[in-house]
Amino acid sequence: MKSLCKVMIVDDEMLVRQGIKHLMNWEQAGFRIVGEAANGLEALDLVEEVKPHIILTDIVMPIMDGEKFVKIVKERHPKMEVIVLSSFSEFEYVRSTFQSGVADYILKPKLEAEYLLSILNKTAARIAELQETALEEPAEERYIEQAAEKLIAGYEAELPPGVLNSVLPGDSYVLIGMDLKHIAVQEVRSSLIQMVETMISQIADTASIHLNMKDQALYILNMNSEIWNSLIMDVRGGIGHLPPEQKSGVHMVMTERFTDFYQLGAVYRNQFLSLARYSFYMPDKHFIYVGDLPDLPQVTADLDMGELTEQLKRKQFQKGFAGFLEHIHLKSMDYRTDIFEFKAYLGNFIFNVTNTLGKLKYDTERLEQSKYEFFRRIDEAAYARDAIQRIVDFIHEAEKVIGETNTAVNPNMAMLLSYIQEHYREPITLTEVAKQFHFNPSYLSSYFSAHNNEGFSEYLNKIRVQKAKELLTSTEESISEISAQVGYSDQSYFTKVFKKLTGLSPSTYRREQFAKED
């Protein structure tokens, strides 16, 4: 008897991968699917992680094709067996892979369960390691994993009687995990998966099942409904206690609880995937749960590109560019916005501006050459703020073309700073300043941070503390009086801010300054 043979699937067509995964009951046949990849380059990293016995790989794939992939795998792991999947027209490629040592090939039109199984059994018989141990019986957990993966893929699934209650006895389920598509480095992925597993293992009164999903760390949590609220607090607390350096790129997603295991596929598609996409608009939100989502902004219609074009034709560049920047910032606050549509909208702006400036007889050769790079970088942006920054970069380039600088990207910064310096004694707020300069408050906050290297509150506190230092050394007024003079109504808060920026309390600072004078 032989132990379970580990199989990895490499094909750029998701439907082909899904079809192979659900072609048969793999573990009953003595095999286990341990991973899948969409191209050779991606597969090379996965091979090192899952160490398959047999690889099923396509030939024609983007980024790295099957021919090169097979050659590298056989050089690094000569004992790994490779079976090539091909169409009739790819036979010349298949022939070249035999020179690298593939075990067999299967024509995709013949990809049926019985034929595939015969090729796999023949190949597995050549692997000495598999002949040394007794056949593993699928554990009950594996039955559940297989059923869950089928439900998620849109297939029907059935479990042996008693298995579900034996492994997952609670009355409620929840899907929890994170999307890893934006994490390119395999070592980082592995550490994040380990972090998630550790966190989940520490949640009391729950049972968990890890699902083998491409580009995701996904788990089913099972619990009794009475611990639901404490579960939310435990997950939120676990994320909150992570060191700052470990939170980068972490967006833990948790669905609402559900009571029917066979609803899992619908919950995954309708809740988990949607919540995972929301992280594109909320890069600093590390726990994404429907009950914690921020309020949505008032719905605004898309900016009329025709109106923008007219503004450019009238050479109202500042108005057009600044208006678009404010609009896309507001748009990015609606986390329900389709990511593809959002990126396409930004690309449309670049196309329209370049085209319009060309018609206005500006020399747009530089813009024409660089616009495709902007398209690429927007497409690759992991977060909305990164995509918006590409638009800011593009506007800088456009301003060079039209012979203007700091028109939209930095229209009134000097005036803003001057206003704060003049009114720091007053209880001014971001909302009041935004109203004064006809900005949306949220847009002003991001705009200020992006173009002054510090936030609005940080800058206001810096100005106030600087003025307080002058008063502490040039007057004998009390700390309370100085606090009020520089805009703080609460002396204890003033003391806290002052110490944070200077390292000293106001009274200690005053004593040290007087001591220096003596």
Is 111's pLDDT higher than 80?
no
Backbone phi, psi, residue 368, to 5°? -60, -35
CB-based burial, 464-479: b 16+ in 10 Å, e otherwise: bbebbbebbeeeeeeb
Burial degree of 156 (CB within 10 A; 0-12, 13-18, 19+): exposed
Fold adopted by 5-131:
Rossmann fold (3.40.50)
356-398 pLDDT, tens per residue? 999 999 998 889 989 899 999 999 898 888 898 888 889 888 8
Domain ranges of the chain: 5-131, 140-292, 305-402, 413-517
Distance of CA 462 to the CA centre of its chain: 34
Per DSSP bridges, beta strands 81-86 and 54-58 are parallel
What is the pLDDT at residue 407?
45
What is the pLDDT at residue 179?
85
What is the pLDDT at residue 343?
93
59-98 pLDDT, tens per residue? 888 888 888 888 898 888 888 898 888 765 555 555 555 6
Provide the residue type at 378 as one letter: I
Which CATH architecture group holds 413-517? Orthogonal Bundle (1.10)
Which CATH architecture group holds 140-292? 2-Layer Sandwich (3.30)
233-288 pLDDT, tens per residue? 888 888 877 777 667 778 899 999 999 999 999 999 999 999 999 999 988 788 89
DSSP string, 284-337: T--EEEGGGPPPPPPP-PPP-HHHHHHHHHTT-HHHHHHHHHHHHHHHHT-TTS
Q: How far apart are CA 187 and CA 495, in angstroms?
A: 45
Residue ranges of E strands in 79-223: 81-86, 104-107, 172-179, 207-211, 216-223
What is the pLDDT at residue 97?
55
Is 211's pLDDT higher than 50?
yes
pLDDT bin (cut points 50, 70, 90) of residue 171 is: very high
Is 176's pLDDT higher than 80?
yes
More confidently predicted of 35 and 421: 35
